[in-house]
């Protein structure tokens, strides 16, 4: 039967068509309604990239990519609080460039990318992408958050508005919610000293309220969980055993600190860090502990940070804001496990599409290949993470968008097409 059909096609082909064809793609929104889509979340939803939120990064935010696909099956316009320029409202954007370190060695790495900033002012309209860089779960419900967060101030309907309230004012038919990273990330990026971890009880209450509100008028949506943040390049790039010694230096360090139980050998050694819980106030790092990307590299290289100054004999431990200890990592991971249990339960209770970014980041760690391109969690060469080591590249966000699409299609029986990640940029090498 199949061949008769084929023969039939061939005869028609001979008569009418010179080009091969495929059946039209079957666009289908399933049981979802994409006509008014709003996205809520933090910097990852806003499209933060390379240490900044700027026009190109916003245009490559995962909600923007998603909305582009939704538009093919009934999705309406998707407003973003777009910047005018490429440098955002706060300085700090990074680019890949050459810099010369204290030893006079020039190397390629993140360098400041300075340019004219956008003004911190309201853009005077409501937007669909309500990703607010810096937002924790509770912030989305906090009246007056715009007075503390200039990113929200740009599109808040009122200085006392809440993010969720403004979202509801859009009358959404569909939403994505990816919140909770900052409830633990601030603790992590400050080495466990500059912020606190949101309690499980509060987190569960916040997310419950947010989702209750968002679904109160019948909107459907997708919710994503929290990846293990200690596996992103911000925490994994600087090696904790980067103290490379020759025989002579190791002997000198052993002479200075051997009596305190420290041991150094020729080759790589674990750095010395501050630790208030140690009797002498410092100790050597141990396997599994992490150094932050922000640790001053020149101090490590030229000021004996993490080692002992041979001229004075004084130890120069790395300050604790650049270090995550095993205990701190445990706290972070326990918090994430708890948050994710909450998110997963809420996804089930509210019958939402669920995106398991915790599992997805683990896959990316192993290396994911798509269209010949490889995404890993490696800094710079991994293609997924931008130069701040926490936020994604456009390619990374396209991958995120595809994961949302997979989950949405599975939940709602829709057939939203995925995007080709080759069509999105990774980092640009000079």
Partner 1 sequence: MRKIITLTLLFALGIQVLIAGGYQVRLQGQKQTGIGLIGTPFNYGASSIFYNPGSLSFMKDDYSFSGGVSGIFSNVIFRAQNSDYEATTDNPTGTPFYFYGAGKVIDDMAVGIGVYTPFGSSTKWADDWAGRNLIQEISLQTIFIQPTVSYKLSDKIGLGAGLTIATGSVDLRRRIVPPVDGQFQMEGNTTAIGFNAGLYLNPIEKLKIGVDYRSKMTMKIDDGSTSFTEIPTALSDNFPASGNFSAELPLPANLDAGIAYAFNEKLTLAVEMNLVFWSAYDSLIIDFKENNEQLVDSRNPREYDNSLILRLGGEYKISDKLVARAGIYYDPTPTNEDYFTPETVSLNTFAFTLGLSVMPVEGLSIDLSYLQLEGLEDDRMYTPDNFGGTYHARTFIPGIGVSYSF
Strands 315-316 and 290-291: unpaired
The least CB distance from residue 299 to partner 1, in Å, is 26
The residue among 96 and 126 lying less far from partner 1, judged by its C-beta, is 96
Question: How many Å apart are CA 394 and CA 224, to the nearest integer?
Answer: 19
The residue among 333 and 373 lying less far from partner 1, judged by its C-beta, is 373
The least CB distance from residue 368 to partner 1, in Å, is 8
Measured between alpha carbons, how far is residue 254 from residues 3, 251, 266, 317 in Å? 81, 5, 11, 15
The least CB distance from residue 341 to partner 1, in Å, is 30
Question: How many Å apart are CA 79 and CA 75, to the nearest integer?
Answer: 12
The residue among 2 and 311 lying less far from partner 1, judged by its C-beta, is 2
Do the beta carbons of residue 336 and residue 356 sit within 8 Å?
Answer: no
Burial of 193 (0-12, 13-18, 19+ CB in 10 A): middle
Residue 315: beta bridge partners?
308
The least CB distance from residue 333 to partner 1, in Å, is 23
Q: Can you read off the two tokens belonging to residue 391?
A: 């936020």
The residue among 12 and 255 lying less far from partner 1, judged by its C-beta, is 12
Measured between alpha carbons, how far is residue 306 from residues 187, 293, 318, 322 in Å? 22, 15, 5, 11
The residue among 130 and 232 lying less far from partner 1, judged by its C-beta, is 232
| Binding footprint of partner 1 on the chain (CB under 8 A) | 3, 6, 9-10, 13-14, 17-22, 25, 27, 72, 108, 367-374, 376, 378, 380-381, 383, 395, 406, 417-420, 422-423, 425-430
The least CB distance from residue 233 to partner 1, in Å, is 13
The least CB distance from residue 371 to partner 1, in Å, is 5
Q: Which residues touch 20 (CB under 8 Å, ≥6 apart)?
A: none
The residue among 28 and 86 lying less far from partner 1, judged by its C-beta, is 28
Q: Can you read off the two tokens belonging to residue 403?
A: 């994961």
């Amino acid at each position: 039967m199949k061949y008769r059909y084929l023969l039939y096609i061939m005869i028609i082909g001979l008569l009418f068509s010179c080009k091969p064809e495929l059946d039209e793609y079957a666009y289908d929104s399933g049981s979802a309604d994409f006509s008014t889509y709003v996205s809520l979340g933090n910097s990852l939803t806003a499209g933060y990239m390379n240490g900044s939120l700027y026009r190109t990064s916003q245009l490559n935010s995962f909600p923007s990519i998603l909305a582009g696909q939704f538009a093919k099956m009934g999705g309406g316009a998707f407003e973003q609080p777009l910047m005018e320029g490429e440098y955002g409202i706060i300085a700090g954007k990074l680019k890949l460039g050459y810099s010369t370190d204290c030893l006079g060695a020039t190397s390629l790495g993140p360098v400041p990318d300075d340019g004219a900033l956008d003004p911190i002012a309201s853009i005077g309209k409501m937007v669909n992408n309500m990703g607010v860089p810096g937002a924790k779960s509770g912030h989305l419900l906090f009246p007056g958050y715009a007075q503390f967060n200039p990113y929200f101030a740009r599109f808040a309907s009122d200085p006392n508005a809440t993010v969720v309230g403004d979202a509801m004012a859009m009358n959404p038919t569909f939403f994505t919610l990816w919140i909770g990273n900052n409830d633990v990330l601030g603790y992590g990026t400050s080495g466990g000293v500059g912020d606190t971890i949101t309690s499980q009880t509060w987190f569960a209450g916040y997310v419950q309220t947010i989702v209750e509100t968002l679904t109160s008028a019948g909107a459907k949506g997708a919710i994503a969980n929290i990846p293990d943040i200690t596996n992103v390049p911000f925490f994994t790039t600087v090696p904790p055993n980067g103290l490379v010694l020759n025989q002579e230096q190791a002997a000198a360090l052993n002479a200075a600190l051997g009596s305190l139980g420290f041991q150094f050998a020729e080759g790589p050694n674990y750095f010395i860090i501050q630790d208030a819980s140690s009797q002498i106030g410092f100790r050597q790092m141990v396997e599994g502990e992490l150094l932050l990307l922000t640790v001053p590299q020149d101090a490590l290289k030229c000021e004996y940070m993490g080692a002992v100054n041979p001229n004075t004999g004084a130890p120069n431990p790395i300050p604790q804001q650049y270090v995550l200890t095993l205990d701190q990592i445990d706290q972070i991971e326990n918090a994430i496990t708890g948050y994710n249990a909450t998110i997963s339960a809420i996804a089930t209770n509210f019958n939402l599409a669920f995106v398991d970014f915790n599992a997805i980041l683990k896959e990316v760690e192993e290396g994911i290949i798509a269209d010949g391109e490889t995404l890993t969690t490696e800094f710079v060469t991994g293609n997924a993470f931008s130069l701040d080591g926490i936020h994604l590249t456009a390619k990374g966000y396209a991958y995120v968008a595809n994961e949302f699409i997979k989950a949405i299609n599975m939940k709602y029986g829709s057939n939203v097409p995925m995007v080709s990640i080759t069509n999105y940029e990774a980092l640009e090498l000079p």
